[in-house]
C-alpha cells in the first residue's frame, strides 16, 4: 500500500503521521512546494497550478490514494485535481472540522489563514453546520509560515496574537490550516482559561487519513509491520525531510523511515 500526501509545505506531516499510526505498513510519498509557498496569498488560479504540479509529482510514484493535506488547495484546486487524477487515483481533500466542533454546542473559534477567514467557502461551512452556535473566525497571519520554519519566537508571537482575538468562553477551536495541527498543544495552552473546562481542538488529520483508507478499501491495522519507504518530493525534487520537519513529533515519527530516492 502506498499513500501520497501533498501540501504547500510541512503541514502534511500531521496527516502523514495519522496514516502512519493507522497503517504503519503503508509506504508514504510526501510532495510539497517550498519553491512556491505560501499558497495562501496566491490567486485561486495560481494555487490550482501549483497544486497540480505537486500532485502530478506525487502521482508519478503510483500511489493508491492522494491526500490533499492543505485547506487552501482543497478550497481552490480539489475539483481540478479530481478531474485529472480520478478515478485512477482517489483524491481526498481536507475540510475544516467545523461540523464536529459545532456539535459540541459551542461557542466555537475557527483559526485559519487570513485568506480563508471570512471566505465564501468557510462561511458556507459555518452556515451549513454551525448556525446554531456562536462562531468566531480568527485570522492567524504568519502562523503557518512560523510553523513551516520552526521559528519558535514567531510561533509564540502569532499564537498569542490569535489567542487575543479568541473569545475567552470558547469551548472548541477548529484548526483550519494543517500547519496549525503541528503546534496544537501550544494553541490549546494559549486559549485555555483558568477555571474553565479544557478547550477541545478539532483538526482534520485523523479524518482524512481514515477517509483515504476507506477510499481504497483498506482497514486500519495499527499493529502491522512498519514500512521503511518514505519518498520526499520538494517542488518535484527527490529530497529528505526538511530540518524544520524534525522539530515536530510528527516529523520525528516519519523520520524513523529511510527516505526513498
177 is annotated as an active-site residue:
yes
Given 13, 26, 57, 70, the catalytic residue: 70
Active-site choice (4, 54, 177, 199): 177
Return the C-alpha torsion angle 15, 154, 235, 119, nearest 10: 70
Handedness of CA 10, 246, 58, 2 (dihedral sign): negative
- Integer Cα distance of 106 and 170 in angstroms: 7
Q: Per the omega criterion (within 30 degrees of 0), is the bond before 93 cis?
A: no
Geometric angle at alpha carbon 155, from 154 and 159, rounded to 5°:
115
Annotated active-site residue 140? The verdict is no
Alpha-helical (H) ranges within the chain are 12-22, 44-59, 71-85, 98-103, 120-129, 143-148, 152-164, 184-191, 205-215, 249-255
Positions marked active-site: 70, 177
Amino acid at each position: 500500500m502506498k499513500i501520497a500526501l501533498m501540501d504547500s509545505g510541512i503541514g502534511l506531516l500531521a496527516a502523514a503521521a495519522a496514516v502512519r499510526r493507522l497503517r504503519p505498513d503503508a509506504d508514504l510519498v510526501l510532495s510539497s512546494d517550498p519553491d512556491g509557498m505560501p499558497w495562501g496569498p496566491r490567486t485561486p488560479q495560481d494555487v490550482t497550478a501549483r497544486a497540480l504540479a505537486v500532485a502530478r509529482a506525487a502521482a508519478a510514484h503510483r500511489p493508491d490514494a492522494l491526500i490533499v493535506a492543505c485547506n487552501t488547495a482543497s478550497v481552490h484546486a480539489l475539483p481540478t485535481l479530481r478531474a485529472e487524477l480520478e478515478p485512477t487515483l482517489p483524491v481526498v481533500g481536507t475540510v475544516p472540522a467545523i461540523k464536529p466542533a459545532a456539535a459540541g454546542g459551542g461557542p466555537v473559534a475557527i483559526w485559519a489563514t487570513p485568506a480563508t477567514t471570512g471566505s465564501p467557502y468557510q462561511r458556507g461551512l459555518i452556515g451549513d453546520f454551525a448556525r446554531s452556535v456562536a462562531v468566531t473566525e480568527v485570522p492567524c497571519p504568519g502562523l503557518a509560515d512560523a510553523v513551516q520554519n520552526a521559528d519558535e519566537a514567531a510561533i509564540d508571537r502569532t499564537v498569542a496574537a490569535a489567542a487575543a482575538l479568541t473569545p475567552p468562553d470558547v469551548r472548541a477551536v477548529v484548526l483550519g490550516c494543517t500547519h496549525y495541527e503541528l503546534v496544537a498543544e501550544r494553541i490549546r495552552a494559549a486559549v485555555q482559561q483558568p477555571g474553565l473546562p479544557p478547550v477541545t481542538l478539532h483538526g482534520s488529520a485523523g479524518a482524512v487519513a481514515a477517509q483515504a483508507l476507506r477510499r481504497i478499501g483498506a482497514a486500519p491495522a495499527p499493529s502491522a509491520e512498519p514500512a521503511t519507504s518514505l519518498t520526499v518530493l520538494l517542488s518535484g525534487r527527490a529530497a529528505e525531510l526538511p530540518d524544520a520537519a524534525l522539530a515536530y513529533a510528527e516529523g520525528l515519527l516519519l523520520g524513523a523511515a529511510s527516505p526513498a530516492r
